[in-house]
Amino acid sequence: MDLLKKFFKDNASSKEVAVERLRLVLVHDRADISPGLLELLKEEMIQVITKYMDIDQEAMDVTLNSTDHSAALIASIPVKRIKRQSVTAS
Amino acid sequence: MAGTVVVVTSGKGGVGKTTTCANIGTGLAIRGRRVLLIDADIGLRNLDVVMGLENRIVFDLVNVAEKTCRVKQALIKDKRFETLYLLPAAQTREKDAISQERMIEICAELKQEFDYIFIDCPAGIEQGFKNAVAGADQAILVTTPDLSAVRDADRIVGLLQARESRIDPRLVVNRVRPAMVRKGEMMAVEDVNDILAVDLLGIVPDDETIITSTNKGEPAVMDTYSRAGEAYRNIVARFEGESVPFMSLDYDLGLFGKIKKMIAK
């Protein structure tokens, strides 16, 4: 019976999905930064950072985070290798 | 002593602003307070029908704003409660027929005569919203537990808090369906309240008696047997500073269901 329940039930209840989606959309609404703008920012960050180091672009994550009415930009950028030469080269 | 002007607002339409306005206002009048309800939804007036006063309208808010009648001429006395009045919206005009300055003046004048003035705000955040909010001292924010209503409510919180004289609205979560909340298929009041981060004034369960009471033009707050009516009576008491516990949303569970829930905890 429990197995059946598990089988038919999604991993997250629709309420959890709603809360999660709402939190995300409000972070963008409150900061007045659209997801598209964040994507542009991410692209430019990649261009700058790759001058200095090899990064894992697939695993890179740039998100806005908010507490009440202030926002913070959180970037997680896995570094594969530091390019020692490039700093002096440019 | 001058009264308090309270705007009832939501951003999104259809979440129950007019019903909330009618019920809280009527609830306060039952307690003997001098209450005026102003319908600021110019062009789409409805507070008159919810209150059952649609047949008595002669003048309206736009007439008052344009000074084609005296303020007192436009006030409609409620047929049930001595201290309750309605100032209806104009039906064939547009939101720009009044200005923020005139709303502030009208509110200031009427404050002298009433303990509470409730303004039923139109949906949206444009001119109509700005007019409705202009003369307000306090705000009641109405939302339902769904994404679009809460998102719009969040915009309203931002706009009210950014005002020159900041207003921190108090929240009414409307149309909560307890069975869905228990199943995890509807956001709970705590979820909504956490996200909006404002004071919670009340919870109103989704209740068929709201439809029947609107059919009759008699606010549910007058109905002793109505679940929503009870919720509104609690809101009225809290509004007046009394500490009333929030209504249990397990009323639809039988004894067996309640025991089951206790065991599950």
Per-residue HEC secondary structure of B184-237 comes to: CCCCCHHHHHHHHCCEEEEEEECCHHHHHHHHHCCCHHHCCCCHHHHHHHHHHH
Q: Look at residue B254 and tell me whether its pLDDT is greater than 90.
A: no
Q: Which residues contact B191 (CB under 8 A, 6 or more apart)?
A: A15, A19, B145
Burial B168-206 (b: 16+ CB within 10 A, else e): ebbbbbbbbbbebbbeeebbbbebbbebbebebbbbbbb
SS3 A70: strand
**Residues within 8 A of B (CB atoms), A 30-89 only:** 30, 68-69
Specify the pLDDT at position B117.
98
Distance (Å) from the alpha carbon of A15 to chain B's nearest alpha carbon: 5
The average confidence (pLDDT) of chain B is 95
Q: Are A18 and B146 a contacting pair at CB < 8 A? A: yes
pLDDT digits (tens, 9 = 90+) for A50-63: 999 999 998 998 88
SS3 B263: helix
Specify the pLDDT at position B247.
86
Q: pLDDT: is B198 or A84 the higher one?
A: B198
Set of chain B residues whose Cβ sits within 8 Å of the Cβ of A8: none
Q: Are B146 and A69 a contacting pair at CB < 8 A? A: no
Specify the pLDDT at position A86.
52
Distance (Å) from the alpha carbon of A26 to chain B's nearest alpha carbon: 7
Report strand pairing: B199-205 vs B170-176.
parallel
Please give the structure tokens belonging to residue B15.
Answer: 């979440």
In the numeric block, the tokens 């009340």 are attached to B202
Amino acid identity, position B97? A
Using CB atoms, pick whichever of B146, B154, B191 lies closest to residue A26. B154
**What is the CB-side half-sphere exposure of residue B161 using CA atoms within 13 A?**
16
Contact B78, B84 (CB under 8 A): yes
Among the listed ranges A9-13, A36-40, B34-38, B95-99, which one has the minimum average pLDDT value? Answer: A9-13
Using CB atoms, pick whichever of B151, B185, B195 lies closest to residue A15. B185
Taking the Cβ of residue A17 and every Cβ of chain B, the question of whether any pair is shorter than 8 Å is answered with no
In the numeric block, the tokens 């709970």 are attached to B188
Set of chain A residues whose Cβ sits within 8 Å of the Cβ of B195: 19, 22-23, 26
Phi, psi dihedral angles at B155 (to 5 degrees): -65, -40
Specify the pLDDT at position A90.
47
Cα of first residue to Cα of last residue in chain A, in angstroms, is 66
Which residues of B have a CB under 8 Å from any CB of A? 146-147, 150-151, 154-155, 158, 161, 181, 183-188, 191, 195, 197
The average confidence (pLDDT) of chain A is 80
Amino acid identity, position A87? V
Confidence category of residue B265, pLDDT binned at 50, 70, 90: low
ipTM of this model? 0.80
**Cβ neighbourhood burial of A38 (10 Å; 0-12, 13-18, 19+):** middle
